[in-house]
Chain A
Amino acid sequence: MSVLDALSRELGEARVGSSPGMDGRVRPGSGEELAAALRVLAAGGASAVVRGSGSWDALGHPMPRARILLETTGLLGEVQVDGEDGVAHLPAGASVSSLGEHVRKETGGAWELPFDPASSSSTLGGCLATASPGFRFGHPRDVVLGLEIALATGERVRCGGRVVKNVTGYDLAKLYVGSLGTLGVIEAAWIRLLPAPEKTECWWVPLADPSQAVEPARLPSARAAAWLSAGLAREIPKPGAGMILELAGDAPAVAADAEFLGRQYAADPTDPAGLGLVRAMRGKDPGVRVRVSARPSKLKESIAGLSNAGAEILAQPARGLVWAFASDEAVVEVAGSAGDGFLVEAAPLAVRESRELFGENPALRPLQAALKAQYDPAGTLNPGRFAGRI
């Protein structure tokens, strides 16, 4: 019996279908079904590409061995929003935008779900697996309290919990966030919510020199800050390089920071829709998109190097993050020396086949490989996709 037949038998025909370029696809409708699907795959020696909404399909090395598409969008289990405690249990397959809306409604607008991905269809599981930084909320790892995970071998496990402070056992959630579906499939998460700000304002700070963007991006009420090179700024539209800055918090703090921006940087209030446009830019795929981590003091140098390689730039100056958008792979070459590390987020197949896309310390490969061997011994999940093609 083929693996697809076995999946149909185990999960029901409705859960299994075809997928272009693959042998087929399976879309489990619950954690139990997910675990059952993984057991079938493991038993049949098959491998799967794990996929949420598909917004990160171009991330990572190609996976020729994986012939089944494992879709997580059916993982729509229990939603529990605890507005008294500011935490929520959320299923991995739901879109972050729908979950955010739900949290807002359930808590009467008092709490926010701290994710703002590039694509509104991004699933929670996808945001966690890619650890993709949004503009407003920093690293997703910092808001994950607990995870429910289906291991590659089909066991359903959990780590962490629902409380806001916890050192009971290893912090496996940290390992899973950013592991790109290579160590297990996230079913659901306990997330720490953030209180909704009293006031929000958007400002445009014209700044040709990105190193000068660090100070305003560090203002106490600065929540989202994106510095744009001239080419990208035009899309908002703004006449030259500068930073779009969202201030959020208590009204007096926002007012004080706004006054400082106007006085010190000749900044102007701007349409908040601009931030939405910038957020969408994060998903832009002009050919090659590379994320470089560059500490604030190295920002200018880093951006200059990437720009010289023909890239347009979007940066979060205070968080030390730079995105370079370019039409060819020359920018990948520069990325290695442009900061403290890099990740090629999107690139044509040939580039993803030929180059290492995860610019991390190669000395860590044996450890990363040992982790993969422990959690996914048969290479069932996204085999070859991650750093060092593990």
Chain B
Amino acid sequence: MTQGERVRPGIGELLGSPADDRRIAFEGAQGISPWQARFILLKGTNPLFRRGRLGKLLRYPRWVATSQHQRNDMGPSSNSSSLEAALRDVVGSDQVLTRPEELFVYEADGLTHHSARPRAVILPATTEEVARVVKACRKHEVPFVPRGAGTGLSGGALALADGVIIECARMNRILRVDPGDRFAVVQPGVVNADLSKAVLQHGLFYAPDPSSQQACTLGGNVAENSGGPHTLKYGTTTNHVLALELVLPDGNVVRLGSPTGWPAGYDLVGAVVGSEGTLGIVTEATVRLTPIPERTETLLGIFPDVVSACRAVGAIIRSGLVPAAMEIVDRRTIEAVEASVYAAGLPTDAGAVLIMELDGPAVAVGVQAERTQALALAEGAREVQVARDEEERQRFWRARKGAFGAMGRLAPDLYVNDAVVPRRKLPEILEAVCAIGDKHGLRLSNVFHAGDGNLHPNISFDRRDADELARVLKAGKEILQLCVEAGGVISGEHGIGTEKRDYMGLLFSDDDLDAMKKLRAAFDPTLTCNPGKLFPTTRFCYEANPKARGYDQVPLG
């Protein structure tokens, strides 16, 4: 390492340490990226890390003041400096970050082993500013990338091709809540959990609940079509977005969809949700609000092994019950959780626990919970506990929600893979996934949305160990291959981004991918919006625009 080179601390180094250590790590870090800070936020025990403060810290880290780095004038070309001037003109100088120390924090999202330093980061406050920023980038032929909280796990918010990041954090207002018609209009920087908090008084909530919901933004959720533990019953983000305001890649602003969710033309909202920020920048979203169910029952099944827990999931689905959530936490994760601040009193000798939640009308939920319990016991649960009160319910969930944080104890880095298989194949796939981890000598654990067949094999590793990193990537690919062979897909909620772009061929033919590119071309013929994501780099070409071809073939930094 050369002198002055900064080392981003690994997730484990940050998550595995007590709150005060984390603060010290944060303040003393030679460099930190937003995903790391957000992970800290997810743990969120120290008031120092409350969002507003954190946002400031992220933008102006303390160590910036003592940095040896000079300001980056966006490169030597006059094109760059005239772009910089144009951007400062739109959003004001304070909201254009160009110093290497400032940019450093934006060079990765939650996928820690992919990184690319942006040319600049722009923080617009209004749709109009976003549109003008986009137009300026287009004029200067500089690609741009929308970004929310940077918690994405597939490299989607990375600025490749020397692009500019347009961060939506300042657009964080809930513009309207309509409890009667059950919708809300929000800006993209609103944090997922904040929306549910804001509408609680009306007896409503926003159903998609990614595990990162304390930090991730609704703009990011829309782009990734995020799911969460309760997707099983309530669906993913796409089932809850009614309308969008979108700044198109040419800078024009359009409104898609309608507050009732029945558009008369092509379903453009449906096409944009899950498009990973490649079709434009969402500057406003109208989302459905859901009534809080009358009663919720949470059960914790304790199983001798993960395979029997998976079998129980299959039996429950087959029975026609639709639980709100079914989440599995395996033995290795339980051990990590129990040794951490999230300790939930789970038996460390259990092979796996299955959290089962049922909700709905009070008269029905009790019976459903009894049926669920019986099915879990029949499939080999050695015990099924029923939460007696909210405190106990939270305790059950702590094991699930604290899992990622607890992993930080195991190693500096965590690779969270994401794939889906037909639910009835879960038992055999889980065994095979663990075997892949063992074969490569990796610390692989599983905590996942079992009810949806959505696996998250998590590999704890140290990215500074090149050999281990190579084994992690190899195992990751083998897991994806396995899932595809079982009739599954390579991402259930984290998206493709840079991480899996070259694995799209596992699932799709060239013609399939070309059909997707037609959608991209209709929205963004010059491919300036978030290039280099989603499509394989090896064979991406648009004859119409040789420059665009260059963008999408940009390797990772």
Query: Which residues on A are within 8 Å of B, measured CB to CB?
Result: 82-87, 110-111, 131, 133, 139, 141-142, 149, 151, 155-159, 161-172, 174-175, 177-179, 183, 195-196, 218, 220-221, 249-250, 252-253, 255-257, 291, 293-297, 319-321, 339-343, 358-361, 363-364, 367-368, 370-371, 373-375, 386-388
Known contacts A165-B454, A178-B266, A361 near B367 by CB under 8 Å: no
Among B266, B270, B500: residue with most chain A CB under 10 A = B266
Which of these, B238, B321, B519, contacts A175 with CB under 8 Å?
A: B519
Q: Determine how close the nearest CB of chain B comes to the CB of A180; give it in whole angstroms.
A: 9
Residue B508, interface by CB 8 Å: yes
Residue B325, interface by CB 8 Å: no
Name the B residues within 8 Å of A250 (CB-CB): 363-364, 367-368
Whether the pair B268, A256 counts as a contact (CB closer than 8 A) is no
Report B480-498 CB contacts with A as 1/0, cut-off 8 Å.
Answer: 0000000111111111100
Q: Report 28 cross-chain contacts, Cβ distance below 8 Å, ordered by A residue.
A: A85-B422, A110-B320, A111-B320, A142-B235, A158-B508, A163-B487, A164-B452, A167-B274, A167-B491, A167-B492, A167-B496, A168-B490, A169-B507, A170-B534, A171-B273, A172-B515, A177-B267, A178-B263, A220-B294, A256-B363, A295-B260, A341-B263, A342-B264, A363-B255, A371-B518, A371-B522, A374-B519, A388-B265
Which segment of B41-49, B70-78, B224-232 sits at the interface?
B224-232
Among A159, A168, A183, A252: residue with most chain B CB under 10 A = A168
Residue B256, interface by CB 8 Å: yes
Known contacts A155-B511, A159-B512, A167 near B267 by CB under 8 Å: no
Known: A141-B267, A168-B500, A341-B260. 4 other contacts (CB 8 A): A165-B454, A342-B264, A367-B254, A374-B522
Which of these, B238, B265, B507, contacts A358 with CB under 8 Å?
A: B265
Residue B391, interface by CB 8 Å: no
Report B424-466 CB contacts with A as 1/0, cut-off 8 Å.
Answer: 1000000000000000000000000100111000000000000
Query: Which residues on B are within 8 Å of A, measured CB to CB?
Result: 178, 180-181, 183, 224-225, 227, 231, 235-236, 238-239, 248, 254-256, 258-271, 273-275, 291, 294, 314, 317-318, 320-322, 360-361, 363-364, 367-368, 420-424, 449, 452-454, 487-496, 500, 504, 507-509, 511-516, 518-523, 534
What CA separation (Å) do A110 and B318 show in the bound complex?
Answer: 8
What CA separation (Å) do A213 and B424 show in the bound complex?
Answer: 41
- For the complex of A and B, 6 pairs with smallest distance between CB atoms: A174-B270, A195-B320, A320-B260, A374-B518, A293-B260, A253-B364
Known contacts A84-B424, A151-B515, A321 near B262 by CB under 8 Å: yes
Among A166, A342, A358, A359: residue with most chain B CB under 10 A = A166
Name the A residues within 8 Å of B492 (CB-CB): 163, 165-167
Which of these, B235, B364, B515, B522, contacts A370 with CB under 8 Å?
A: B522
Closest to B454 in A: A165
Whether the pair A170, B275 counts as a contact (CB closer than 8 A) is yes
What CA separation (Å) do A221 and B293 show in the bound complex?
Answer: 12
Known contacts A84-B314, A179-B266, A386-B265, A294 near B515 by CB under 8 Å: no
Whether the pair B363, A155 counts as a contact (CB closer than 8 A) is no
Closest to B516 in A: A170
Q: Determine how close the nearest CB of chain A comes to the CB of B426; give it in whole angstroms.
A: 10
Known contacts A155-B514, A174-B270, A252-B363, A168 near B264 by CB under 8 Å: no
Closest to A344 in B: B264
Which of these, A163, A253, A374, A386, contacts B420 with CB under 8 Å?
A: A163
Closest to A171 in B: B274
Whether the pair A387, B264 counts as a contact (CB closer than 8 A) is yes
Closest to A173 in B: B270
Known contacts A162-B422, A165-B452, A252-B367, A367 near B522 by CB under 8 Å: yes
Known contacts A84-B424, A162-B422, A175-B271, A368 near B361 by CB under 8 Å: no
Whether the pair B231, A165 counts as a contact (CB closer than 8 A) is yes
What CA separation (Å) do A203 and B545 show in the bound complex?
Answer: 61
What CA separation (Å) do A187 and B227 show in the bound complex?
Answer: 28
What CA separation (Å) do A367 and B260 show in the bound complex?
Answer: 21
Known contacts A170-B274, A175-B271, A163 near B488 by CB under 8 Å: yes
